[in-house]
Amino acid sequence: MCSSAISLASTALSSQLRRSPSLPPILRSALKAQSSIYTGRCFAPRSITCRRIDHRRRSAMASTPIKVSKGNQEVLIFENEEALSVSLAKLTAELSEKYASDRGAFTVVLSGGSLIKSLRKLSESPYVDSVNWAKWHVFWVDERVVPKDHPDCNYKLAYDGFLSKVPIPPGQVYAINDSLSAEGAADDYETCLKHLVNTGVLKLSTTTGFPKFDLMLLGMGPDGHIASLFPGHPLLNEKQRWVTHITNSPKPPPERITFTFPVINASANIALVVTGAGKASVVQKALGSDNNSSDLLPVEMVSLDEGEFTWFTDKDAASKLPNASL
Ligand SMILES: O=C(O)[C@H](O)[C@@H](O)[C@H](O)[C@H](O)COP(=O)(O)O
């Protein structure tokens, strides 16, 4: 780039920053770090590495995320949840195409919570017609042990909000057996997974021997829990089981089943969807620089053996990420 173009680009960016006083600190820091490329200074916040920022047009901010990374985790920060949902659908459709053509099946794991609403674009054009839904196999990272028509049921949430709108074969949607106890339902679900390994639908990790799902679509609670793995709970240390149960969940209802960390960490891909200001403090702890290994939140225990871990956040959830002064 010639020097006059460098100067123009730098001036345009400074002007963009001045016009965007409401940008949260991480967005301003990342934009400033990008502008510093032109001046040789670095304003990247501690422990967050700027990778690539597309800020050519202000309007592009609506759909193009700020991309930062921490270790092998990529963090995408969207202007709002609408832009996030567009990108989440695109990633999911791309992975569906890849795994369906590579191995004839696409194994997808869902959580409950607000994630399901963020999947809405998949049941709209173009994805509703273009995705090869016949290859999908759908699982739950956790489920509340309640009847399938109960308002607390994660299966019902996903069915009403997503699964009823796309043509996945019903026999490839693996809900828990809600007539069993929590312990029985966890055992039954693990048996189901082992059967699907035997039939070739589900792969095993060649490094750990745990099931390797193609994509886990997860949410995170404001306390940093993922699945039904809650801060300080002994289940965080489960190393043998694929699926286990909890009868004292701090988030109601108390009886649940959940995948264990060895299964979560064997995933080929995780998309963690975290939105809203209520999650900002835990996002700050999880992605900040002062992590103490004796005090890890469940979300900080996600460490993929060999997969891709991507955070999908909005600017409210990312608003407390470490800041460099402007
Ligand atoms: O059954 C559950 O309780 C969920 O699977 C849970 O793990 C959820 O994903 C998080 O609590 C985030 O939920 P929100 O996105 O609604 O905060």
Ligand 1 geometric centre to CA of 218 (Å): 8
* Ligand 1 site, CB within 6 A: 111-115, 142, 144, 154, 219-221, 225-227, 251
Q: What is the pLDDT of residue 293?
A: 66
pLDDT of residue 288: 82
Please list, in sequence order, all residues whose beta carbon lies within 8 angstroms of the beta carbon of residue 157, skipping any fewer than 6 positions away. 112, 116
Pick the atom of ligand 1 nearest to 228's CA. 7
The ipTM value here is 0.97
**DSSP code at position 141:** S
Burial call 226-251: b when 16+ CB within 10 Å, e when fewer: bbbbbbebebbebeebbbbbbeebee
User: Residue 40 belongs to what H/E stretch?
Assistant: none
The answer on pLDDT for 40 being more than 50 is no
Full set of structural domains in the chain with CATH: 81-274 (3.40.50.1360)
Query: Residue 263 carries which side chain, given as an amino acid letter?
Result: V
CA of 247 to the centre of ligand 1 (A): 17
pLDDT tens across 185-240, in order? 999 999 999 999 999 999 999 999 999 999 999 999 999 999 999 999 999 999 99
Distance 112 CA to ligand 1 centre (A): 5
Tens-digit pLDDT profile for residues 239-296: 999 999 999 999 999 999 999 999 999 999 999 999 999 999 999 999 987 666 678 9
Residue whose token pair is 């900040």: 288
Task: Please report, as a single letter, which amino acid is at residue 47.
Answer: S
